[in-house]
């Protein structure tokens, strides 16, 4: 086992999604998908900038019609992020997206149509070696495969993926990544484990329709955590019924938990109770966000452990074990540095005091 708990990474073929390497030993990348109307270029670019600030590597946009495809040219011109077009039903939208300069395509085997249409996409993608993700979902499996296996069981998801791998390979194309997502955690794990033993292509991990922020994060962590522990997975998306920045944060935290990304802000906080007379949750979240911004701008900066504690019962003791800490009282916090109480600050000045100490920190 490697430090952080993950097994030796599975060896895969490397592809390039714009400037982001996927597979072949490259760092596991984090993806999300915009939730704006792609035809609204301004709103879509604003959301892309927001997720870029959170540390996202690859962004996918929905392309439901020709107007959305036409907007891709302006979106491409407005961002340097690796940009993937999500295509369903109409293969001509994939051709338009390629012409607009996207860095990748996601096509759904269950609805993209005939082999001849896929070959047409391959021909257009091959000039720039634009990767194509074969995105199999349990909710949109081909009818004949679903009938053969009695539904979207892991074997059915894998067979769907392999069918379309063969189509791309027969067309001489190997710039491929694959996903086999189910909404059921155990089915997702089984499908990816099965597929990992059968192909050399990089795998995009995710649980489809995972759910709301809490439920979806737990389900995704359960499935993706098991797979990452096996060394499976080259790029991930935590799919949530929540804003895209939260998907990115959840994905980064999951990778950090396995030692697959550099540590972020090291913030611990108490769960709070009836003794609490300050906004611990709000302060801890603001500290985390400010420090994440600091580390993105200064990736080699030291990362002291910061504790945000709510009261005088455990707060002072825990604060002494952290590098930088605050322990709350009524409308104020005691600030500790290297275990020593330095001063008391008003609640509304606590964030600034903590960030100042972090910026000044010397290991």
Residues making up the chain, counted from first to last:
363
Same domain, 91 and 226: yes
Same domain, 228 and 345: no
Give the per-residue pLDDT at 3. Answer: 45
Q: Is the pLDDT of residue 1 over 50?
A: no
Which of 208, 237, 257 is the last residue in one of the domains? Answer: 257
Under 8 Å between Cβ of 305 and 324:
yes
Same domain, 328 and 238: no
Same domain, 253 and 324: no
Mean of per-residue pLDDT scores for the chain: 92
Same domain, 178 and 218: yes
HEC string of 284-351 equals HHHHHHHHHHHHHHCCCCCCCEEEEECCCCCHHHHHHHCCEEEEECCCEEEEEECCEEEEEEEHHHHH
Q: Which residues, 6+ apart, have CB-to-CB distance to 358 below 8 Å?
A: 291, 294, 304, 306, 324
Helix axis angle, 115-125 to 154-170, nearest 10°: 60
| In-domain check, residue 2 | no
Which of 257, 280, 310 is the last residue in one of the domains? Answer: 257
Q: For 335-349, what is the mean pLDDT?
A: 93
| In-domain check, residue 10 | no
CATH number of the domain within which 272 lies: 3.30.413.10
Strand order, beta sheet including 29-33: 176-181, 132-137, 104-107, 82-87, 58-62, 29-33, 235-237, 204-205
53-104 per-position pLDDT tens digit: 899 999 999 999 999 999 999 999 999 999 999 999 899 999 999 999 999 9
Please give the C-alpha separations between residue 300 and each of 105, 292, 354, 363, in angstroms, as whole numbers: 34, 12, 19, 12
| In-domain check, residue 6 | no
139-179 per-position pLDDT tens digit: 888 899 999 999 999 999 999 999 999 999 999 999 999 99
Same domain, 160 and 212: yes
316-328 per-position pLDDT tens digit: 777 778 999 999 8
| In-domain check, residue 296 | yes
Strands 266-269 and 235-237: unpaired
Same domain, 222 and 271: no
Q: Is the pLDDT of residue 127 over 80?
A: yes
Under 8 Å between Cβ of 2 and 8:
yes
Give the per-residue pLDDT at 7. Answer: 65
- Report the number of distinct structural domains present in the chain: 2
Q: How many CB atoms lie within 10 A of CB 256?
A: 15
Same domain, 238 and 329: no
Read off the pLDDT band of 4 (50, 70, 90). very low
Same domain, 211 and 103: yes
* Residue 53 or 40, more confident: 40
CATH number of the domain within which 43 lies: 3.20.20.20
Which of 257, 275, 293 is the last residue in one of the domains? Answer: 257
Read off the pLDDT band of 26 (50, 70, 90). very high
| In-domain check, residue 132 | yes
Give the per-residue pLDDT at 214. Answer: 95
| In-domain check, residue 9 | no
Same domain, 75 and 142: yes
Find tokens 């895969």 and name the residue: 12
293-318 per-position pLDDT tens digit: 898 888 889 999 999 998 776 667 77
Q: For 213-222, what is the mean pLDDT?
A: 96
227-260 per-position pLDDT tens digit: 999 999 999 999 999 999 999 999 999 999 999 9
Same domain, 65 and 175: yes
Expressed as residue numbers, the domain containing 168 is 15-257
| In-domain check, residue 243 | yes
* Residue 312 or 282, more confident: 282
Same domain, 37 and 154: yes
């Amino acid at each position: 086992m490697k430090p952080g708990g993950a097994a030796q990474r599975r060896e895969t073929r490397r592809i390039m999604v714009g400037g982001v390497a996927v597979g072949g030993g490259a760092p596991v990348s984090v993806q999300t998908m915009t939730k704006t109307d792609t035809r609204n270029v301004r709103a879509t670019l604003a959301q892309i900038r927001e997720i870029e600030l959170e540390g996202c590597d690859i962004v996918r946009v929905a392309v439901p019609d020709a107007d959305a495809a036409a907007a891709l040219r302006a979106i491409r011109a407005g961002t340097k992020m690796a940009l993937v077009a999500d295509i369903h039903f109409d293969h001509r939208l994939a051709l338009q997206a390629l012409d607009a300069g996207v860095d990748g395509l996601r096509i759904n085997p269950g609805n993209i149509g005939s082999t001849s249409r896929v070959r047409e996409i391959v021909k257009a993608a091959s000039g720039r070696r634009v990767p194509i993700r074969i995105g199999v979902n349990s909710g949109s499996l081909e009818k004949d495969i679903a009938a053969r296996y009695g539904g979207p069981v892991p074997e059915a998801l894998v067979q769907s993926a392999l069918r379309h791998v063969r189509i791309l390979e027969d067309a001489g194309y190997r710039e491929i990544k694959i996903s086999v997502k189910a909404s059921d955690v155990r089915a997702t794990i089984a499908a990816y484990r099965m597929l990992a033993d059968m192909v050399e292509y990089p795998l995009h991990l995710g649980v489809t329709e995972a759910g709301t922020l809490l439920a979806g994060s737990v389900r995704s962590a359960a499935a993706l955590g098991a797979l990452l522990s096996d060394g499976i997975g080259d790029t991930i998306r935590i799919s949530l019924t929540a804003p895209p920045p939260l998907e990115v944060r959840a994905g980064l935290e999951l990778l950090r938990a396995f030692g697959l990304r550099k540590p972020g802000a090291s913030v611990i906080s108490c769960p709070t109770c009836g003794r609490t007379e300050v906004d611990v949750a709000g302060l801890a979240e603001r500290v985390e966000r400010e420090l994440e911004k600091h580390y993105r701008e200064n990736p080699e900066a030291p990362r002291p452990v910061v504790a945000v504690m709510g009261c005088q019962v455990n707060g002072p003791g825990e604060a002494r074990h952290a590098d930088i800490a605050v322990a709350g009282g009524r409308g104020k916090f005691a600030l500790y540095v290297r275990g020593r109480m330095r001063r008391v600050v008003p609640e509304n000045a606590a964030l600034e005091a903590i960030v100042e100490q972090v910026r000044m920190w010397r290991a």
